[in-house]
C-alpha cells in the first residue's frame, strides 16, 4: 500500500528548541496533512485540510483505527469549501508516534483514503452529489482492510501492509484451503472438485487484485493518456488457466494442488465460459485487452454484464435448439461487484470489475462490465404509495436491459431493446470516464490529451452523440469546440463488410427513445453535408451515399456513417476487400494455454521463451523447417493433440478414433495392397489418428459456406461408394469436423446444421465407406472447445465467398497451431498467403474483383456437373427429408446462387485433392505446418495494439514497477 502511494509528497522536518517535528504532505487535489510533535503535547497532532464531502470524517477515523492508532481528541473548523480537522493521536500503547518514517507512511495512507485511488476498484468520486448534475451515487468506501488484530502495533501493521502474497507451494495450499472454509463455506476436510475450483479461483484472484491495485494507483500517479475500449461483446472464455499463465505461477499451483490430491487440469474444466459475445468481434476484444495489459498500456475496457450470454446450442435429432446460458448460476469468482459505483441511465448502471493480467509484467488492467439495476428513487416512489407490485415490475423491467446478449433486431421490440442496451452501456461508461478525468483535470481542452475512445464496431457509435450532448448541454462548450474534441478522441474498427451488416437505427425509434441524440445527429449530418458540398458540389448521389441519414421506406440513421464522420482513425472500411479489415487478433498467450506441447517445442528450438511477447522471433522456426529431429517432435506433438480431440469427439458421438495404427489406418493401408479385398477390415465407427482431421468451425452463415463443405463431403462419399477396393486403398482417410451456431431466427443456417447431421448418419453407418470418411458435428462450440479443436486439426477450411469475410480471426489461430489452411482469397487469408507463401496453403475460388461480374450472369452461370449431382442427391431425398431441404437446394440453384457455391465447386475439389496429395507425403506436410507457425507472428494482437497505440490513440506504455 505505502510503497505504491500515488501522491506527490513534500516532507519538511524542523527541530525547534522545543523539539517540535513538523511534516507536511500535499497531493494534486490541494489536500494537505501536517504533523506536529510538540514537546508540550502528549499526543501527535495531525492537521488535515481538504474539500468537504459526505462521509469523509468516517474515512479519516477509519484509517486511524485500521492502523491501530487512538484518536484522543478532534477539532473541526471550516474555511469556505474546505475544512480543517485536527486529530490528536497516540499509538496503541498510548504514546506519541516518534519515528519520522512512520509519520510519513501514515500521511500517505490518509491522503490515499481522502483523495482516492483509481485502482481496479475505481471507487473515487468527487462526492456523493451528482456527477455533472445527474445524481450519480458513487461513494468513497474508505479503507476496508482486515489485517488481523486492529490493536496490533503500528510497526507490525506497516509490515503486513508491505507484504505481497507468496507463491510457494505451502502458501498456495493454505490460501486455497482458507477459501474452501471461509469463502466457499465448506469443510477443508470434505469438498468436491467444483468447490476446489472455486477456492482455487479466489486464491488466484487475490493475486490478480494485488497487481490490479498497484497498476491503477501507478496510473493515477503518472496520469498518462488512457485508452478506453468500448465493446458490447467480449469473448473472454475461461479465466483460470489464462490468469495463472499470465501470472507465471501455473507450475506452482499444479504442484500445490497435487499435494492436496487434486489435478489442476480437472479443476480448470469446472469453469464455464463467459460467453458474452458471438464470434470474431468479441474474441478480438478479449485478445486486445490481453495485449493492452501485456504491453503495459494504460487502458480500461467497458462492456455489458449479460445475465445470459450467447445461447447454449442443443442438438436434438440433428436440429438446433437454443437454451439460455445460465453462466452466472454458480457465481463468477473473477468479478468484483462495485455496488458503490453506479450511474443513472434511467435505471442504475452498477459496475462489475474483472482484472485482466498482462503476461510477463506486473500490470493488470480492468474490464468494467455494467449491469442494470432498478433505481432506488423509482422504487421508493412505488413503496411510498403502497404500490409494491409495481415496484417489483419496475425492477424486472430495469434488469431486462442487461439480461441477454443483444437480441434479434428483426422486430421493433428487438431493435428498441438493442438501442437501450447500447445507450445504457455507453452512457454509464462515459460518465465513468469523465468522472475519472475530472478527478485530476478541470479544463476540457485537456480531454483529448488524456482520453482516447476506441469503438469496437458500430454498436457503441451512439457514444459520439452522447459525448456531444455532455460537452454542449452539460459542460456548456460551443458546438465547434465540442466537435473538435469528439473528433480527436474517437477511433473505430468496423467489422462488417457487407452493406446489410452495417447497423441502422430507424429515425422514429431513435426519436422516441433518445430525442436529444437524434437532434444532435441531425446537426452533425447537416454540417457534414455542407462540408462535403465544398468538395463534391451538387453530386446528390454521392452525398446521399455519404449521409448519416438514409432516406427510404424506413428512414434510418447509418451508425457506420456516423462513426466515419467523427472518428479520426477508421479500421475495417475499404474500397476493395484486399484492404478490408486488417486487424490481427491472435493472442500470443492463447497458445501457451491451449497448446502447451507446441509452446515447449517452439521455445526449445528458438532457445528462448521471449517469442511469447516478441512476436517477430517466431520466424526463426523457418531455419529448422527441414530438420528431421524437429519433424519428429512436431508430429508427436500433433498426435498428442489429435488424441485429446479424439477423446472429446468420442464423448459427444459414436465415432471412436483409435490411437493405434492398424489395418484401418491410412499408412497401414498403403501396405494393404498385398492383401485381397476380403482380408481388409473396415470398422464402421472407428478411424485412426493417422486420418486427416479436417475442420471448419465458425458461426453458421451462408457466406461462410458450410454448405460448400457438406456438398464436398457428399461428393467424397459418392466417389468412395463407387470405387473398387483397389482404389479405396489410395484414399486418404478423413475425419470431417464441423461446428458452429446458427442465429435463432436464421432458418437457412439451421437447415445447414440438419443437413450436416443427416449426411453424418448416412456416411458414418455405411460399411462401404468404413474408416475412410467420418463426419462429426461438435455442438455448442465455444472458446474452451476451440482450445481442444484447433491444436488437434490438420486442415482448416475457410470458405467465405471472396469479399465477404471482414477478417476471419479463426484462420489466424489455426495458422499459429501449425494447421494447414484450405481457403478462398478472402479476409486474412490474403495476408497469410503473402506471409507464408501460397504454396503452403490450398487456395481456391473466385477472386474478390471477379465476384460482381459473376453475379451479374445470374441464371446463365452454371456450376460443374459434380456440383449438380450432389445437389440433386440432397434434393431427391438421398439423405432423407426431401421436402425440408428443398428450399435449401433452391438457394444454390436456378439463379439463386448468390454466394457462388456452384461456380467455386470445381476449384474447391481441386484444392481438396491437392491437400490429399500433400498429406500423403508426411515430411512435406510437416514442413508446411512448421512454416505456417513460423509465419504467424505478423498476426498477433500485440502488433496490432502497438500500431493502434502509436498511430491512432497516441498513448505510451505505463509499466508498474515490481
Of 294-308, 649-663, 843-857, the one with minimum mean pLDDT is 649-663
DSSP-derived 3-state class of residue 607: coil
Percent of the chain with pLDDT over 70: 82
In contact, 306 and 274? CB cutoff 8 Å: no
> What contacts 777, CB < 8 A, 6 or more positions away?
315, 737, 738, 739, 753, 756, 757, 760
pLDDT of 470 > 80? The answer is: yes
C-alpha distances (whole Å) from 205 to each of 50, 186, 240, 403, 705 are 34, 19, 9, 25, 42
Q: How far apart are CA 759 and CA 217, in angstroms?
A: 58
- Whether pLDDT at 671 is above 50: no
Average pLDDT over residues 908-937: 96
Question: What is the distance, to the nearest Å, from the Cα of residue 554 to the centroid of all Cα atoms in its chain?
Answer: 34
Residue ranges of alpha helices (H) inside 736-827 are 747-764, 783-789, 809-816
Residues 159, 162: Cα–Cα separation, whole Å:
5
Q: List C-alpha distances in Å: 859 to 212, 403, 864, 905.
A: 61, 46, 14, 16
Output b/e per residue, 530-548; b: 16+ Cβ within 10 A: eebeeeeeeeeeebeebbb
Cell numbers describing residue 98: 516518534
Query: Is 39 domain-assigned?
Result: yes
Q: Give per-residue pLDDT as tens, 200-229.
A: 999 999 999 999 999 999 999 999 999 999
Q: What is the pLDDT of residue 651?
A: 80
Residue pointed to by grid coordinates 467523427: 566
- 812-834 CB burial, b ≥16 within 10 A, e <16: bbbbbbbbbbbbbbbbbbbbbbe
C-alpha distance from residue 607 to each of 128, 359, 592 (Å): 56, 19, 16
Domain that holds residue 83: 32-115
pLDDT in the model for residue 157: 46
Alpha-carbon distances, residue 641 vs 596, 691, 791 (angstroms): 10, 13, 6
The whole-number average pLDDT for the span 624-645 is 95
Pair 592, 600: CB distance under 8 Å: no
- On the question of pLDDT at 921 being above 90, the answer is yes
Question: What residues are annotated to the active site?
Answer: 495, 698-699, 704, 809, 813
**Alpha carbon of 161 to those of 109, 158, 168, 247, 579: distances in Å?**
11, 5, 19, 21, 53
Classified as helix, coil or strand, 836 is helix
pLDDT at 379: 52
Q: Is 904 domain-assigned?
A: yes
In this structure, are strands 319-323 and 312-316 parallel, antiparallel, or unpaired? Answer: antiparallel
Of 131-135, 283-287, 591-595, 735-739, where does the model show the most confidence? 735-739
How many structural domains does the chain have?
2
Residue 351 makes CB contacts below 8 A (sequence gap 6+) with 122, 337, 338, 341, 342, 368, 369, 370, 428, 432
What is the tens place of the pLDDT at every residue in 340-374?
899 999 899 999 999 999 998 999 999 999 999 88
At residue 138's C-alpha, the angle toward residues 132 and 141, to 5°, is 145
Q: How far apart are CA 844 and CA 838, in angstroms?
A: 11
Give the pLDDT score at 134. Answer: 32
Q: CA-to-CA distance for 438 and 451, rounded, in angstroms?
A: 12
Asked whether residue 7 carries a pLDDT value surpassing 90, the answer given is: no
Cα 96 from Cα 769, distance rounded (Å): 90
pLDDT value, residue 17: 36
Q: Does residue 375 sit within a domain?
A: no
Structural domain contains residue 793: yes
Identify the CA nearest to 22 among candidates 30, 10, 31.
10
Residue 787, classified by CB atoms within 10 Å of its CB into exposed (0-12), middle (13-18) or buried (19+), is: buried
Least reliable range by pLDDT among 132-136, 540-544, 743-747: 132-136
Residue bearing the bigger pLDDT, 130 or 547: 547
**Containing H/E element for 87?**
strand 82-90
Q: What is the DSSP letter of 816?
A: H
Q: How many of the other CB atoms lie within 10 Å of CB of 676?
A: 8
pLDDT of 817 = 93
Q: What is the pLDDT of residue 394?
A: 67
**Mean pLDDT confidence for 461-476:** 97
Q: What is the mean pLDDT of residues 507-536?
A: 94
Instruction: Answer with the one of 97, 115, 133 that is the final residue of a domain.
Output: 115
**Per the structure block, which three cell numbers stand in for 797?**
477450411
Q: Show contacts of 378-384: CB within 8 Å, 24+ apart.
A: none
CA pair distance 101, 509, nearest whole angstrom? 62
Enumerate the β-bridge partners of residue 343. Answer: 349
Mean pLDDT, rounded, for 320-341: 91
Segment 521-546 mean pLDDT: 90
- Write down the pLDDT at residue 277: 85
Interaxial angle between packed helices 559-566 and 515-536, expressed in degrees from 0 to 180 and rounded to the nearest 10: 60
Check residue 887 and give its pLDDT: 95
75 φψ region: left (φ > 0), alpha (ψ -120 to 50), beta (else) = beta
**504 falls within a domain:** no
Residue 838 is placed in which grid cell? 501460397
Would you state the pLDDT for residue 66?
77
**Confidence category of residue 655, pLDDT binned at 50, 70, 90:** low
603 SS3 class: helix
**What single DSSP character describes residue 673?**
G
Checking if the pLDDT of 5 tops 80, the result is: no
Q: Which of 70, 98, 115 is the last residue of a domain?
A: 115
Enter the DSSP assignment of 125: -
How do strand 32-36 and strand 22-26 relate by DSSP bridges? antiparallel
Mean pLDDT of the chain: 83
More confident call, 266 vs 386: 266
CATH code of 911's domain: 3.40.50.2000
CB 341 within 8 A of CB 122: yes
State residue 37's pLDDT score: 85
CATH code, domain carrying 62: 3.30.70.260
- What does 495-546 look like in DSSP terms, one character per residue? ---SGGGS-EEEHHHHHHH-HHHHHHHHHHHHHHHHHHHHHHTT-HHHHHHH
Q: Residues 84-119: pLDDT tens digits?
A: 888 999 887 888 888 888 888 888 888 887 766 444
Q: Given pLDDT bands bounded at 50, 70 and 90, which one contains residue 794?
A: very high
Of the ranges 500-504, 672-676, 874-878, which one carries the lowest mean pLDDT score? 672-676
The pLDDT of residue 127? 33
Domain finish residue from 115, 136, 171: 115
Confidence of residue 142 (pLDDT cuts 50, 70, 90): very low
**8 Å CB contact between 777 and 700:** no
- pLDDT band, residue 12 (cuts 50/70/90): very low
Give yes or no for a contact between 905 and 714, defined as CB atoms under 8 angstroms apart.
no
Residue 566 lies in a domain: no
- Cβ-Cβ contacts under 8 Å for 877 (sequence gap 6 or more): none
Residue 150 placed within a domain: no
Model confidence at 152, pLDDT cuts 50, 70, 90, reads very low
Instruction: Give pLDDT, residue 762.
Output: 96
pLDDT tens digits for 122-140?
Answer: 433 333 333 333 333 333 3
- Domain assignment present for residue 894? The answer is yes
Q: Are the beta carbons of 303 and 387 closer than 8 angstroms?
A: no
Amino acid at each position: 500500500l505505502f510503497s505504491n502511494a500515488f501522491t506527490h509528497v513534500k516532507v519538511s522536518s524542523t527541530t525547534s528548541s522545543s523539539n517540535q517535528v513538523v511534516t507536511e504532505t500535499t497531493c494534486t487535489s490541494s489536500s494537505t496533512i501536517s504533523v506536529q510533535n510538540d514537546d508540550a503535547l502528549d499526543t501527535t497532532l495531525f492537521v488535515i485540510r481538504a474539500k468537504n464531502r459526505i462521509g469523509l470524517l468516517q474515512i479519516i477515523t477509519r484509517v486511524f483505527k485500521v492502523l491501530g492508532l487512538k484518536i484522543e481528541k478532534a477539532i473541526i473548523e471550516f474555511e469556505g469549501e474546505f475544512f480543517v480537522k485536527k486529530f490528536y493521536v497516540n499509538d496503541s500503547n498510548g504514546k506519541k508516534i516518534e519515528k519520522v518514517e512512520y509519520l510519513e507512511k501514515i500521511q500517505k495512507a490518509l491522503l490515499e483514503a481522502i483523495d482516492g485511488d483509481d485502482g481496479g476498484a475505481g471507487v473515487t468520486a468527487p462526492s456523493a452529489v451528482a456527477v455533472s448534475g445527474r445524481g450519480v451515487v458513487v461513494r468513497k468506501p474508505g479503507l476496508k482492510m482486515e489485517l488481523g488484530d486492529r490493536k496490533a502495533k503500528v510497526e507490525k501493521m506497516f509490515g503486513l501492509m508491505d507484504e505481497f502474497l507468496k507463491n510457494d507451494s505451502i502458501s498456495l495450499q493454505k490460501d486455497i484451503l482458507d477459501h474452501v472454509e471461509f469463502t466457499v463455506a465448506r469443510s477443508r476436510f470434505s469438498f468436491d472438485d467444483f468447490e476446489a475450483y472455486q477456492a482455487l479461483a479466489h486464491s488466484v484472484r487475490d493475486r490478480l487484485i494485488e497487481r490490479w491495485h498497484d497498476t491503477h494507483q501507478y496510473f493515477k500517479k503518472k496520469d498518462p493518456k488512457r485508452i478506453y475500449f468500448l465493446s458490447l461483446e467480449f469473448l473472454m472464455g475461461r479465466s483460470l488457466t489464462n490468469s495463472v499463465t499470465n501470472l507465471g505461477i501455473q507450475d506452482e499451483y499444479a504442484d500445490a494442488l497435487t499435494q492436496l490430491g487434486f489435478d489442476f487440469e480437472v479443476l480448470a474444466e469446472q469453469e464455464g465460459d463467459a460467453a458474452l459475445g458471438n464470434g470474431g468481434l468479441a474474441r478480438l476484444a478479449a485478445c486486445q485487452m490481453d495485449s493492452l495489459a501485456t504491453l503495459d498500456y494504460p487502458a480500461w475496457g467497458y462492456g455489458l454484464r449479460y445475465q445470459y450470454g450467447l445461447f447454449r446450442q442443443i442438438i436434438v435429432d440433428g436440429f438446433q435448439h437454443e437454451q439460455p446460458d445460465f453462466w452466472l448460476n454458480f457465481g463468477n469468482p473473477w468479478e468484483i461487484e462495485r455496488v458503490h459505483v453506479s450511474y443513472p441511465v434511467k435505471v442504475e448502471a452498477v459496475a462489475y470489475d474483472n482484472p485482466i493480467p498482462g503476461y510477463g509484467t506486473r500490470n493488470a488492467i480492468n474490464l468494467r462490465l455494467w449491469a442494470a439495476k432498478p433505481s432506488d428513487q423509482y422504487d421508493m416512489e412505488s413503496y411510498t404509495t403502497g404500490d409494491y407490485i409495481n415496484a417489483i415490475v419496475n425492477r424486472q423491467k430495469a434488469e431486462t436491459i442487461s439480461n441477454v446478449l443483444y437480441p434479434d433486431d428483426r422486430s421493433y421490440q428487438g431493435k428498441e431493446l438493442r438501442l437501450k442496451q447500447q445507450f445504457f452501456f455507453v452512457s454509464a461508461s462515459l460518465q465513468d470516464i469523465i468522472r475519472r478525468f475530472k478527478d485530476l483535470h478541470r479544463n476540457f481542452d485537456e480531454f483529448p490529451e488524456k482520453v482516447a475512445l476506441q469503438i469496437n464496431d458500430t454498436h457503441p457509435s451512439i457514444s459520439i452523440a452522447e459525448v456531444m450532448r455532455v460537452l454542449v448541454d452539460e459542460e456548456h462548450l460551443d458546438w465547434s469546440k465540442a466537435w473538435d474534441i469528439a473528433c480527436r478522441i474517437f477511433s473505430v474498427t468496423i467489422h462488417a463488410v457487407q452493406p446489410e451488416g452495417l447497423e441502422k437505427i430507424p429515425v422514429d425509434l431513435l426519436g422516441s427513445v433518445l430525442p436529444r441524440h437524434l437532434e444532435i445527429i441531425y446537426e452533425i449530418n447537416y454540417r457534414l453535408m455542407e462540408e462535403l458540398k465544398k468538395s463534391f458540389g451538387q453530386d446528390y448521389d454521392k452525398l446521399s451515399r455519404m449521409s448519416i441519414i438514409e432516406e427510404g421506406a424506413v428512414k434510418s440513421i447509418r451508425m457506420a456513417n456516423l462513426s466515419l464522420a467523427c472518428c479520426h482513425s477508421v479500421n475495417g472500411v475499404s474500397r476493395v476487400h484486399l484492404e478490408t479489415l486488417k486487424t490481427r487478433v491472435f493472442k500470443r498467450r492463447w497458445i501457451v494455454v491451449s497448446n502447451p506441447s507446441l509452446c515447449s517445442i517452439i521455445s526449445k528450438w528458438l532457445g528462448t521463451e521471449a517469442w511469447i511477447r516478441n512476436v517477430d522471433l517466431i520466424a526463426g522456426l523457418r531455419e529448422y523447417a527441414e530438420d528431421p529431429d524437429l519433424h519428429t517432435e512436431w508430429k508427436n506433438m500433433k498426435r498428442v493433440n489429435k488424441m485429446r480431440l479424439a477423446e472429446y469427439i468420442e464423448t459427444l458421438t459414436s465415432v471412436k478414433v483409435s490411437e493405434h495404427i492398424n489395418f484401418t489406418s491410412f499408412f497401414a493401408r498403403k501396405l494393404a495392397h498385398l492383401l485381397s479385398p476380403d482380408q481388409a477390415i473396415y470398422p464402421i465407427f472407428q478411424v485412426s489418428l493417422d486420418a486427416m482431421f479436417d475442420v471448419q468451425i465458425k458461426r453458421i452463415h451462408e457466406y461462410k459456406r458450410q454448405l460448400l463443405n457438406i456438398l464436398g463431403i457428399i461428393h467424397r462419399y459418392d466417389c468412395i461408394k463407387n470405387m473398387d477396393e483397389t482404389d479405396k486403398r489410395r484414399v486418404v482417410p478423413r475425419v470431417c469436423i464441423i461446428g458452429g451456431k446458427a442465429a435463432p431466427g436464421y432458418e437457412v443456417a439451421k437447415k445447414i446444421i440438419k443437413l450436416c447431421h443427416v449426411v453424418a448418419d448416412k456416411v458414418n453407418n455405411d460399411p462401404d465407406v468404413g474408416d475412410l470418411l467420418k463426419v462429426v458435428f461438435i455442438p455448442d462450440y465455444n472458446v474452451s472447445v476451440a482450445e481442444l479443436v484447433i491444436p488437434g486439426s490438420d486442415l482448416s477450411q475457410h470458405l467465405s465467398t471472396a469479399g465477404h469475410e471482414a477478417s476471419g480471426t479463426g484462420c489466424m489461430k489455426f495458422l499459429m497451431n501449425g494447421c494447414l489452411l484450405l481457403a478462398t482469397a478472402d479476409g486474412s487469408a490474403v495476408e497469410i498467403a503473402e506471409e507464408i507463401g501460397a504454396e503452403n496453403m490450398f487456395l481456391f475460388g473466385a477472386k474478390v474483383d471477379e465476384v460482381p461480374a459473376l453475379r451479374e450472369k445470374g441464371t446463365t452461370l452454371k456450376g460443374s456437373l459434380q456440383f449438380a449431382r450432389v445437389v440433386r442427391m440432397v434434393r431427391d431425398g438421398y439423405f432423407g427429408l426431401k421436402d425440408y431441404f428443398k428450399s435449401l437446394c433452391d438457394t444454390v440453384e436456378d439463379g439463386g446462387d448468390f454466394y457462388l457455391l456452384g461456380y467455386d465447386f470445381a476449384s474447391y475439389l481441386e484444392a481438396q485433392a491437392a491437400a490429399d496429395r500433400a498429406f500423403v507425403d508426411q515430411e512435406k506436410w510437416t514442413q508446411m505446418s512448421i512454416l505456417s507457425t513460423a509465419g504467424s507472428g505478423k498476426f498477433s494482437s500485440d502488433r496490432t495494439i502497438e500500431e493502434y497505440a502509436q498511430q491512432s490513440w497516441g498513448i505510451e506504455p505505463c509499466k508498474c514497477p515490481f
